[in-house]
Amino acid sequence: MAVTTHVHWDHIGGHRYFDNIAVHELEQDWLSVQFPIPLQVVKNNLTKYPCDFPAGFDIDTYRVFQGIPQRILRDGDWLDLGNRKIQVVHTPGHSPGHCCFYEPERHYLFSGDLIYKGCLYAFYPTTDPQLFYHSVKRVQKYKISRILPGHHQLSIPVSLIDEIEAGFAQIERNGKLKQGNGLFDFGDFQLQI
């Protein structure tokens, strides 16, 4: 089973290798009907910075994955991996169906694009900075021993959640928590809204 935190092109590139795909209900159509961001915008993103694409990758024939999910996820659902159980925590904002995955036994949080060290994005039309902030506050309440983020460095301190929450709080206090207000730099992370 392939389970991703959300249906963005940089998270579903390997979906075609799986027969069993799980997706949050709010992004079901992004997989099986239409991806909401124009293909050219995605391609511009992929080629924005120089990088070594995998062998056989051709930007001209590239398409965002489309397919029928086998399982629809909702907040509170459990993923049973046999000897490990992981709970779905719906954390919208970066995208409407973004989920984190929480493993109570180990207190691990698979945080996707909600929490990582680097630039956090809530500027696309399908994002929502207020919801993003709300989702950060939600995961802040969990007991967490380790964060497994979707991008950049794997070893990040759990305290980063509090720092990101404080960043959003500051933007909100200044009346700036609205899409289109640009990039806010907090050192270890940036918020682009």
Interface pick for Zn ion out of 22, 113, 122, 167 (rule CB under 5 A): 113
- Nearer of residues 115 and 161 to Zn ion, judged by Cβ: 115
From the CB of 78, what's the least distance to Zn ion, in Å?
Answer: 24
- Nearer of residues 43 and 170 to Zn ion, judged by Cβ: 43
Of the listed pieces 10-18, 54-62, 133-141, 163-171, which binds Zn ion according to CB under 5 A? Answer: 10-18
Per-residue x/- marks for Zn ion, 60-99, CB under 5 A? ----------------------------------------
Interface pick for Zn ion out of 3, 4, 7, 8 (rule CB under 5 A): 8
Tell whether residue 10 is a contact of Zn ion (CB under 5 A).
yes
- What span, in angstroms and rounded, lies between the C-alpha atoms of 37 and 124? 9
Of the listed pieces 21-29, 113-121, 162-170, 176-184, which binds Zn ion according to CB under 5 A? Answer: 113-121
- Give strand ranges (E) for the chain: 2-3, 21-24, 71-73, 78-80, 85-90, 99-103, 108-112, 119-121, 146-149, 183-185, 190-192
Locus of tokens 């682009």: 192
**C-alpha torsion sign, points 19, 21, 25, 27:** negative
Tell whether residue 117 is a contact of Zn ion (CB under 5 A).
no
Q: How many CB atoms lie within 10 A of CB 145?
A: 10
Locus of tokens 């983020």: 149
